[in-house]
């Protein structure tokens, strides 16, 4: 820490998004309420052309040797950059998808694959250079680091206080990988922050002292963060301590692979179907043009309620523009039906998406949400978390937790109709339960709030402003075989041993006093690993022999390996498990000998042999 205090001049917020990255900063020690600035990120927009933009699209393109002139790849800080990322990568990839790495972040939290293994772009020919999900994160962070160092040559990123955001739904393994990527990219002073919390910090910064007028004791704030490819949910409770308002993050949602890009695609396929009815079939390249055209037409329709239809044109590919250009229109009723009724239907609170089985675990592919209705995902989240605020705010009634304020984030909500519908949906549930309407918290920049909030959090950590409490949003368990007598043909039932309770704070540690394990020297021991976002009262060491299927989520296996150093292979060493939340914000599991003299790390991210 003393090292940081000497050298860090800025708190740097990095939003490492599934589809875009944003870089923001604020000077440490600046006056409270100083708005964080956005650092524009130089990137190739065309071969040979570099533009600085507020967002860096999170795409990597692996060009063919003869595809691009090497002189055309120069960046301000390098004549021969190792990777091609950003706007140009996305553009080239739209025409040559087999060389494009996209959604790498969603792979980071994908169970059942080795996230250190280079396999992206998925299913591409052998000659295309592959990168691992971890490697992709490193590549983006390195580009951001270079952009920062280019802009601030006297204050290199390695010396700054960096706050990197992760989805609230990231499991410990994915958080650890994100921290690892940051380390490899040369970030030395790192803190992880959940994205919905970052949005709340941005709101707090924007409001200044006024936030205390906008929320009161007993409020529950629902944060809905819809990105390009993912949706992230969190609940924040407002309580009082020593006469001051206190914020607690009380619950986070599941990882939902559903976002704004799905909406644009849904409209494009609707237009495609319409054209097919008119006897016009579309080439694959035209779908791309339609998607692009639909996005702009949608924005116009949602912004201007007097419009009934907006033309959508798909230019020809060749140099003959007239005649080859396809023209159709997107009508208001199509947008309403597809987006509002398709993604935000007014369903009842008991309408939940079909539970996605973890059977998809072994299937290679991203587990996209099967149900496109955001409404049902929201209803399921609020129902599952019905008692989340009881401990802080007193017992509640009803079948779901009742938010009284809503903070929306993400480009999707630039359309007023979609934010109005989201509010109407939640009010529909609240009214049915006899509760008052919730209100909308406003004032954040929907694209940049996460990065700004992260930079502001750097100031908060130095003692300015209010800090959101919370700790871990899950309790963690390992599976152990129960010691019942063996019955031939029947697998011994699994029991879950709580190794880290809900709400563990950064920098704290718990040891399992009563549970001893015998680890065999030279052998690798694997554990089943579980998390629960609803079991708030289990203490470290609690052993569960029964749980509801939706209570515990199975995470990728974890393992530990005792090296033979100083011991004979095959010896059994009795150990205790110790779990710790690091200052960075990651979970660290260790096997410690009973006298505490030796420690072995338990790997959260198992590498395939």
Partner 1 sequence: MSIEFSLIPVAFDALHLLLLVLALLLFVSLMRKPADVNAKPAEQPSAPVEPAATPSVLKDTTPESALQLLSLLQQDARFLDFVHEDLSSYSDADIGAAARVVHEGSKKTIAGYFTLSPIRTEEEESRLTLESGFDASQVRLTGNVVGSAPFTGTLVHRGWKATQVRLPQLAKGHDVRILAPAEVEL
Residues that bind partner 1 in the complex, under the rule CB under 8 A: 42, 45-51, 69, 71-74, 76, 296, 311, 313, 315, 317, 319-323, 325-327
Nearer to partner 1, 321 or 609 (CB): 321
Decide if 457 contacts 517 (C-beta within 8 A). no
Decide if 151 contacts 123 (C-beta within 8 A). no
Nearer to partner 1, 327 or 333 (CB): 327
Nearer to partner 1, 45 or 542 (CB): 45
**3-class state of residue 311 by DSSP:** strand
Cβ partners under 8 Å of residue 75, min gap 6: 42, 43, 44, 50, 81, 146
Decide if 323 contacts 313 (C-beta within 8 A). no
Nearer to partner 1, 74 or 511 (CB): 74
Closest approach of partner 1 to the CB of residue 315, in Å: 5
Helix ranges (H only) for 414-550 are: 416-432, 449-461
**Distance of alpha carbon 231 from alpha carbon 225, whole angstroms:** 6
Nearer to partner 1, 241 or 325 (CB): 325
**Distance of alpha carbon 592 from alpha carbon 594, whole angstroms:** 6
Nearer to partner 1, 50 or 480 (CB): 50
**Distance of alpha carbon 502 from alpha carbon 352, whole angstroms:** 25
Closest approach of partner 1 to the CB of residue 54, in Å: 12
Strands, DSSP E only, in 414-571? 439-441, 468-469, 475-481, 494-500, 509-511, 517-520, 524-532, 543-544, 553-561
CA torsion angle 297 302 307 311 (round to 10):
10
Closest approach of partner 1 to the CB of residue 436, in Å: 43
Nearer to partner 1, 208 or 311 (CB): 311
Nearer to partner 1, 88 or 200 (CB): 88
Closest approach of partner 1 to the CB of residue 51, in Å: 4
DSSP conformation letters of 182-199: HHHTT--EEEEEEHHHHH
Closest approach of partner 1 to the CB of residue 215, in Å: 38
Q: Which residues of 459-495 are buried (b: 16+ CB within 10 A; e: fewer)?
A: bbbeebbeebbbbbbbbbbbbbeeeeeeeeeeeeeeb
Closest approach of partner 1 to the CB of residue 43, in Å: 10
Q: Please state at what angle helix 172-184 crosses helix 133-151, rounded to 10 degrees.
A: 40
Closest approach of partner 1 to the CB of residue 370, in Å: 34
Closest approach of partner 1 to the CB of residue 160, in Å: 25
Least Cα distance to 402 among 419, 379, 421 occurs for 379
**Distance of alpha carbon 76 from alpha carbon 147, whole angstroms:** 9
Decide if 353 contacts 367 (C-beta within 8 A). no
**Distance of alpha carbon 98 from alpha carbon 107, whole angstroms:** 17
- Compute CA distances 288 → 116, 269, 284, whole Å: 32, 10, 7
Q: Which residues of 107-134 are buried (b: 16+ CB within 10 A; e: fewer)?
A: bbbbbebbbeeebbbeebeeebeebbbb
* DSSP classification of residue 341: I
Residue 24 — φ and ψ, nearest 5°?
Answer: -140, 160
Closest approach of partner 1 to the CB of residue 278, in Å: 15
Nearer to partner 1, 80 or 363 (CB): 80
Cβ partners under 8 Å of residue 565, min gap 6: none
Nearer to partner 1, 320 or 568 (CB): 320
Closest approach of partner 1 to the CB of residue 73, in Å: 7
331 C-beta neighbours (distance < 10 Å), count: 16
Closest approach of partner 1 to the CB of residue 67, in Å: 11
Closest approach of partner 1 to the CB of residue 314, in Å: 9
Closest approach of partner 1 to the CB of residue 44, in Å: 9
Cβ partners under 8 Å of residue 337, min gap 6: none
């Amino acid at each position: 820490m003393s090292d940081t205090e000497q050298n860090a001049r800025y708190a740097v917020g990095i939003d490492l998004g599934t589809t875009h990255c944003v870089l923001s900063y604020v000077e440490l020690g600046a006056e409270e309420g100083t708005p964080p600035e956005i650092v524009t990120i130089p990137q190739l927009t065309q071969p040979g052309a570099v533009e600085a933009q507020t967002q860096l699209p999170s795409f990597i393109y692996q060009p063919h040797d003869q595809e691009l002139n090497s002189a055309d790849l120069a960046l301000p800080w390098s004549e021969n950059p190792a990777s091609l990322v950003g706007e140009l990568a996305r553009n080239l990839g739209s025409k040559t998808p087999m060389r494009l790495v996209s959604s790498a972040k969603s792979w980071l939290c994908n169970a059942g694959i080795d996230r250190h293994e280079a396999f992206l772009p998925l299913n591409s020919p052998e000659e295309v250079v592959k990168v691992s999900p971890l490697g992709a994160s490193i590549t983006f962070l390195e580009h951001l680091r270079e952009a920062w160092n280019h802009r601030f040559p006297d204050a290199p990123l390695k010396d700054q206080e960096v706050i990197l955001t992760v989805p609230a739904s990231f499991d410990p393994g994915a958080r650890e990988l994100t921290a690892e990527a940051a380390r490899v990219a040369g970030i030395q002073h790192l803190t992880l922050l959940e994205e919905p919390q970052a949005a709340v910090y941005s709101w707090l910064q924007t409001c200044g002292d006024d936030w205390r007028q906008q929320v009161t004791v007993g409020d529950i704030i629902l944060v809905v963060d819809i990105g390009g490819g993912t949706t992230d949910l969190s609940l924040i409770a407002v309580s009082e301590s020593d006469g001051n308002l206190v914020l607690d993050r009380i619950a986070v949602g599941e990882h939902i692979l559903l976002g704004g890009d799905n909406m644009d695609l849904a409209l494009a396929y609707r237009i495609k179907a319409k054209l097919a009815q008119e006897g016009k079939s579309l080439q694959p390249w035209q779908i791309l043009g339609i998607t692009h055209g639909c996005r702009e037409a949608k924005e116009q329709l949602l912004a201007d309620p007097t419009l009934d239809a907006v033309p959508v044109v798909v230019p020809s590919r060749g140099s003959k523009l007239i005649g080859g250009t396809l023209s159709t229109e997107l009508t208001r009723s199509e947008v309403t039906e597809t987006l509002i009724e398709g993604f935000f239907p007014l369903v009842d609170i008991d309408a939940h998406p079909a539970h996605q089985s973890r059977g998809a675990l072994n299937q290679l592919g991203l587990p996209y949400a099967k149900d496109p209705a955001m409404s049902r995902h929201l209803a399921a989240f609020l129902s599952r978390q019905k008692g989340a605020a009881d401990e802080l705010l007193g017992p509640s009634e009803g079948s779901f937790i009742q938010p009284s304020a809503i903070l929306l984030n993400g480009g999707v909500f630039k359309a007023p109709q979609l934010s109005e519908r989201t509010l109407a949906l939640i009010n529909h549930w609240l009214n049915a339960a006899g509760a008052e309407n919730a209100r909308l918290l406003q004032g954040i920049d929907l694209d940049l709030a996460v990065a700004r909030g992260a930079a502001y959090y750097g100031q908060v950590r130095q003692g300015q402003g209010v800090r959101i409490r919370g700790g871990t949003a899950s309790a963690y368990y390992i599976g152990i075989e129960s010691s019942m007598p063996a019955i031939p043909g029947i697998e011994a039932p699994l029991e879950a041993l709580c190794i880290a309770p809900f709400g563990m704070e950064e920098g704290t540690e718990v040891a399992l006093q009563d549970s001893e394990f015998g680890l065999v020297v030279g052998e690798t021991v694997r554990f089943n690993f579980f998390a629960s976002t609803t079991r708030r009262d289990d203490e470290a060491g609690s052993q569960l022999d029964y749980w509801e299927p939706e209570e515990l989520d199975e995470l990728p296996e974890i393992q530990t390996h005792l090296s033979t150093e100083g011991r004979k292979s095959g010896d059994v060493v009795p150990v205790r498990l110790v779990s710790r939340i690091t200052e960075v914000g990651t979970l660290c599991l260790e096997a410690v000998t009973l006298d505490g003299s030796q420690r072995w790390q338990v790997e959260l991210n198992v590498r395939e042999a």
